[in-house]
Amino acid sequence: MSPSGTGTLLRLALRRDRVLAPVVVLLLGLTAWSTAAATVALYPDPAQVTSAAVAANASPALVALYGPVHASLGSLASLKMLSTGAVAIALAAVFLLRRHTRTEEETGRVELLGAGALSRHAPLTAAVLHTTLVVLLASALCALGYAASGLPVAGSVALGLAWLVAGLAFTGITAVAVQLTSSARTVAAIAGGGVAAAYLLRAVGDAAGDGPARVLVWLSPLGWAQQVRPYAGERWWVGLLALAFTAATTALAYVLRSRRDLGSGLFADRAGPAHTTMGSPLALAWRLQRSAIVGWSLALVLMGAVLGGFASSAATLLDSPQARDMIRSLGGTGSLTDAFISAEFGIMAAVVAGFGVAAALRMLGEETSTRAELTLSTATSRWSWLMSHVGLALVGSAGILALLGAGAAAADGATRGDLGDSFARVLPAALVQVPPVWVVIGVAVLLYGTASRLAVGAWVVLAGCLVIGQLGELLALPTAVQGLSPFRHVPMLPGAAFDPTPVVALVAVAGILVVVGGSLFRRRDLH
């Protein structure tokens, strides 16, 4: 492996990601930081820590979702960061590595560079180094945040190591995945599926308690992250295991790379149909988005089932005066179960808005790739082209939220033995989140319609909503600032009374944003 060109490519990657990489690092790091501070404030009394840990471990659903809690404040505070945080960093690694390898090959940019003095392995080496750097910085920030919140330094460093374990392992897995297929989307499906499988293995293993299925945890890189055991007798050697795994997978990736041509995958593309019945911009948009919509639907209905399954046991875990205060400060007025569902749906709504923005901004990808030019050179009007994509984003996000609600209602109903009541309470709680999601999509359409270069601003807006929703109360942001997030205006169902005014208003705002954005799009140049 000659390093020829690796340094240049690494500098290019850093320059391309000069905004993206710091945002990823800061978002992950600061989320960890704020979670640590919030949990430490929640349990001032060591006795509460013990009782919360006992309560958490008593619920198999909760153990499956987050893993077991050890009886220390640090363990309780790092519960979410060790499970969902590790998933987030794994996904970041998948995304970054793919971005700088297969996506570059698919667009033909590597070919452009390959003509220069560049060794065959340089793009992979540079991408692995770049991803490692981002993962390392996020992990370091996480460790720093936990230590700064007054938790033991050794445990905090171990938590950072756990993140590093998850990030590096999936860097290696993705490095292999990008060699297999010529499609960047399929890479995302393989590596993303790997993250899901790792999560599932860990969940099943953890839920097994001391049973024989416990060993499954060790088959999962996310399980390894947890087995570093921050704040509960740190096992530093797990870091070496992960390092060996990463080295082995990366080495495999180099071997596979030597056996394939640039631009192709190890598995050849299958031939497809020579004819199609597609004949409208909507049919095309559906064809481009359907796998994403199906994937999201499956993931969210499962997520709903998990949330619904332990909604009632979660109430036990959160049963401390401080937790009650916190739930109440978030607006939950009814029972803790209701407040829990409402809060979780609020978070999931922001995630679904991510789908909505990505679906609407498919238009941006179509425009920059000049495929939009091809479509719009036909009798397809700009308005119908735009509305096909936007309509799919609006209907798709509503459908996905409905599935989330249905999954949660079914699981909650099965637990409590009253399906009818669960559907009547839980499904509307999910559907009430549709209007704010539509507003975010509307903002994306407005920005895209104004100018294509502004479109990425929709992600900034969504991140802002997320920060307000998750940290608004903790940071004591002024009400006016918090009111900027459309998610702040929906009735906190179930529990709170249903007030139609804000819901109708949000739908109207979304409609106006889409219409104005669409009209602006019809008036601007296409690039």
Of 96, 148, 94, 153, the C-alpha closest to 127 is 96
Site string for another protein, 50-89 (x = CB under 8 A): ----------------------------------------
Positions 161 through 190 that interact with another protein (CB under 8 A): 182-183, 185
DSSP for 216-261 reads GGGG-HHHHHHHT-TTSS--THHHHHHHHHHHHHHHHHHHHHHTS-
DSSP for 308-334 reads HHTHHHHHHHT-SHHHHHHHHHTT--S
Positions 287 through 316 that interact with another protein (CB under 8 A): 287-288
Candidate segments 273-281, 415-423, 473-481, 487-495, binder of another protein by CB under 8 A: 273-281
Minimum Å gap between C-beta 373 and another protein is 6
Distance CA 288, CA 362 (A): 9
> Exactly one of 262, 381, 418, 464 binds another protein (CB under 8 A); which one?
381
Site string for another protein, 392-431 (x = CB under 8 A): ----------------------------------------
Q: Which is nearer to another protein, 210 or 525 (CB)?
A: 525
Q: Which is nearer to another protein, 108 or 233 (CB)?
A: 108
Q: Which is nearer to another protein, 360 or 403 (CB)?
A: 360
Q: Which is nearer to another protein, 189 or 477 (CB)?
A: 189
For every residue of 429-470, which 3-state class applies, written as one string?
A: HHHCCHHHHHHHHHHHHHHHHHCHHHCCHHHHHHHHHHHHHH
Should residue 272 be labelled a site residue for another protein when binding is judged by CB under 8 A? yes
Should residue 261 be labelled a site residue for another protein when binding is judged by CB under 8 A? no
> Exactly one of 262, 369, 460, 484 binds another protein (CB under 8 A); which one?
369
Minimum Å gap between C-beta 183 and another protein is 6
> Exactly one of 335, 375, 415, 482 binds another protein (CB under 8 A); which one?
375
Q: Which is nearer to another protein, 373 or 499 (CB)?
A: 373
Minimum Å gap between C-beta 452 and another protein is 12
278 torsion bin: left (phi>0), alpha (psi -120 to 50), beta (else): beta
Distance CA 517, CA 494 (A): 34
Should residue 260 be labelled a site residue for another protein when binding is judged by CB under 8 A? no
Should residue 269 be labelled a site residue for another protein when binding is judged by CB under 8 A? yes
Should residue 98 be labelled a site residue for another protein when binding is judged by CB under 8 A? no
What contacts 69, CB < 8 A, 6 or more positions away?
A: 52, 53, 56, 57, 75, 76, 79
Q: Which is nearer to another protein, 372 or 429 (CB)?
A: 372
Candidate segments 56-64, 315-323, 373-381, 445-453, binder of another protein by CB under 8 A: 373-381
370 torsion bin: left (phi>0), alpha (psi -120 to 50), beta (else): left
> Exactly one of 45, 325, 373, 499 binds another protein (CB under 8 A); which one?
373
DSSP for 331-384 reads T--S-HHHHHHHHHHHHHHHHHHHHHHHHHTHHHHHHHTTHHHHHHTTT--HHH
Should residue 276 be labelled a site residue for another protein when binding is judged by CB under 8 A? yes
Enter the tokens of residue 261: 């041509």
Sign, Cα dihedral of 397, 399, 400, 401: positive
Should residue 103 be labelled a site residue for another protein when binding is judged by CB under 8 A? no
Distance CA 151, CA 75 (A): 10
Query: What count of residues does the chain have?
Result: 527
Enter the tokens of residue 349: 């709504």
Cα 52 to chain centroid distance, Å, stands at 27
> Exactly one of 47, 115, 271, 476 binds another protein (CB under 8 A); which one?
271
Minimum Å gap between C-beta 279 and another protein is 3
Minimum Å gap between C-beta 374 and another protein is 6
Residue type at 232? A
What contacts 247, CB < 8 A, 6 or more positions away?
A: 172
Is there a contact between 217 and 202 (Cβ–Cβ < 8 Å)? yes
Which H helix or E strand runs over 36? helix 20-42
Binding footprint of another protein, residue count (CB under 8 A): 36
> Exactly one of 19, 47, 115, 274 binds another protein (CB under 8 A); which one?
274
Should residue 378 be labelled a site residue for another protein when binding is judged by CB under 8 A? yes
Should residue 284 be labelled a site residue for another protein when binding is judged by CB under 8 A? yes
Should residue 453 be labelled a site residue for another protein when binding is judged by CB under 8 A? no
Is there a contact between 20 and 134 (Cβ–Cβ < 8 Å)? no
How many Cβ atoms sit within 10 Å of the Cβ of residue 379? 6
Minimum Å gap between C-beta 146 and another protein is 42
Distance CA 325, CA 248 (A): 49
Should residue 115 be labelled a site residue for another protein when binding is judged by CB under 8 A? no
Q: Which is nearer to another protein, 18 or 523 (CB)?
A: 523
Should residue 279 be labelled a site residue for another protein when binding is judged by CB under 8 A? yes
Say which residue the tokens 């080495």 belong to.
251
Q: Which is nearer to another protein, 8 or 450 (CB)?
A: 450
Chain residues in the site for another protein (CB under 8 A): 106, 182-183, 185, 269-281, 284, 287-288, 369-371, 373-382, 523, 525-526
